[in-house]
Structure 1
Amino acid sequence: MAFEGLADRLQNTIQKIKGKGKVTEQDVKEMTREVRLALLEADVNFKVVKDFVKKVKERAVGQEVMDSLTPGQQVIKVVKEELTALMGGDQSKIAVSDRPPTVIMMVGLQGAGKTTTTGKLANLLRKKHNRKPLLVAADIYRPAAINQLETLGKQLSMPVFSMGTEVNPVDIAKKGVEQAKENHDEYVIIDTAGRLHVDTDLMDELAQIKDAVKPDEIFLVVDSMTGQDAVNVAENFNDQLDISGVILTKLDGDTRGGAALSIKAVTDKPIKFAGTGEKLDEIEAFHPERMASRILGMGDVLSLIEKAQENVDEKKAKELEQKMRSASFTFDDFLDQMGQVRNMGPLDDLIGMMPGANKMKGMKNLEIDEKQINHVEAIIQSMTAKERQDPSLMNASRKKRIAKGAGRPVSEVNRLLKQFEEMKKMMKQMTNMQQGKKGKKGKGLNFPFM
């Protein structure tokens, strides 16, 4: 999860004050000292930390906390609200032009992931908002950028406008917008040139493109793993281009969180989207409140629900429930269910969205081995259709064939078969208990999910 180190420090700090029936100024002082150290270690801008701690301290020793029945809980509420405000408060939505197309300029330094993010954003607009985007390749200095964008366009079955490397980027941007109007595209996303550092030539060119196409949004793409450097880059671009928002990339990596927690305060421009992985669908709208909840170990149920709604087939889920009730659950069902869950994203990220998951026994240091899941899938896929439907057919020779097909030892096949049978027995027991509860008062247990 993003902000892992910061999250651990903050959660341990607020846990000490959480259950207190009475909170003293000394308690608040000790807590804010720990919060300050945690933020500085996460590479948050020093001035930002100073202002944040001051606001938390003032509110935490105020009447709203001291006079409440649960002062410990009130202090945590204050920290969450200030953390949310620090990252922008409310979610900042993408601008939409009154007269289509909506024009978006993507700017940033080389290596931040700007071209890939251009493709990801286009994919998100089409998939989640049912919009029709056109990608424009205006980075003429890095030929690979044009090829990369065209490749992304093919992968996404999305149009890419390019005029090669011998045409002025300003003309490419203008003609791209003209083509979008002719084709009734709703969005134009212009991938502009980057440099290894901020320089006058780059800024002059970007300013000319801005003047020529009058973009509705100028998104600065920054690598969140660069910490304070990302904040400095954001400040430079904002001073010279007046950006409208920031897209953070690599937020799933080993990032300390400093960029995400500093950019809004330093530039007064919101983080609008965040890259959460390498795949083209791994980008999401940035919700400050949800991120604050995750950092403080309160989970992110809304994002989890949204992911489930997008990736889980409701009809199949109902059919699966019936099969679980009747204990007719097969390996085909298991494989299908695994696929739907994996489409929601990395499993450790999903667990991180569950409230209190980090405090659950066994969850704190749980590392989900995706390779192990791949092995399970390979074993099931090596079975015949009949074997998946009826595992009782398995004999020594069949198990040996399946193991060879999956490239796994026979012991893993045996273990999976045993676990599957145990799971089916458990489902049957739960169903019987539930039926007993309904049929005869006092018998069985009431399982809320059955």
Structure 2
Amino acid sequence: MADAVAAAVAEAHRREWGRVLAATARLTRDLDLAEECTQDAYAKALENWPHSGVPARPAAWLTTVAKHRALDVLRRESTLRRALPLLVTEAGPAGAEDPLRLVFTCCHPALSRDAQVALTLRLVCGLSTAEVARAFLVPEPTMAARVTRAKKKIATARIPFRVPPPDRLAERLDAVLEVVHLVYTTGHAAPTGPELVRRDLTDAALALARTLHRLMPREPAATALLALLLFIDARRDTRVSPDGRLLLLAEQDRSRWDAARIAEGTRLLTAALRNHPPTRFAVEAAIAAVHAEAPSWAATDWTEIAGLYDVLLGLWPSPVVALNRAVALGMRDGPRAGLAALDRLLAEPSLATYGYLSAARADFLRRLGDYPAAAEAYREAIALTANDVERAFLATRLAEVTALR
């Protein structure tokens, strides 16, 4: 029973944290207090559910407990709180739009871009500070300080808890789109844990992307982001074998890819590219579309993909984009060319703890027959990887190259 309750609480945390926190924040007008009360609600669930049973609607139970806890605190501290800067709330009923309100609060222009994204991952999605730090490739203390500063700025600047009116949406759109994209990618390859995919995060990101597209149907970046997520999500049921083994693109059963999502993504990408210069997300979606349209791994158009990465690197000069471009070059021109491109990234500080760089180098070294160097690169990748499924895959590859030395 205790294990079942713990699993139910963990599932409620994955799926409902943002909704519970957002609803509580509307009451408290204080993000720190809302977060504290939401954490207390989950602790109460661990205490009460073994005796009372898991409620039919866990989110409603948790929200009620969090709000009651908040009301108790607010009553005790009402005099003090009247003198403190509080989050300004928007009139109107609470409900399904609360998580989006919280996203826009976290993405206010008064905050730096990194703070916007980090705060949203921490508050809206319930990621731990360590998970957010890993997503940003920074030390955990650095991320903890960043989140704390952002929350204080929201309080002192009285940033409103609301979705901006239509004429003010554009000024926050880039940050919100980046948040949604990072939420999805964090769920697509979970930084830690026993599962490769955190579907609570990928589903939440898709829902937010659809909401943004509905709010701004003529905004090409929002349209392109939704297309990108649909192309990637179409493959999600084929990324792990029935026995839990990671399956690379070359091994996936493409007949099981979600054709409806690919078709929807294609329609959206076509609309996003019509009469507009390409946005970052449109180019990323175009890369995903090339993979989606290839009938087999062998038929993948690596020349097209490498060219698109050249365009993307011009629009978004990110070390991770440079890494992906290097991999594409290796697929187009051979493993030696790919390894040379990857080696040029070894001095990039933000990739020093990025396990995918070591894993990509290991794969090219394996294909070149340099098994001792490949083994060393696989060991480094394993040391930098905290996801159990990815670690198991890398360990298998390490054993293979070690046997060939």
TM-score range, shorter chain: under 0.3
Task: State the TM-score, normalizing by the size of structure 1.
Answer: 0.24
Structure 1 or 2, whichever has the larger Rg, is: 1
Does 1 or 2 have the higher relative contact order (CA < 8 Å, sep 6+)?
1
Q: Which structure has greater helix proportion?
A: 2
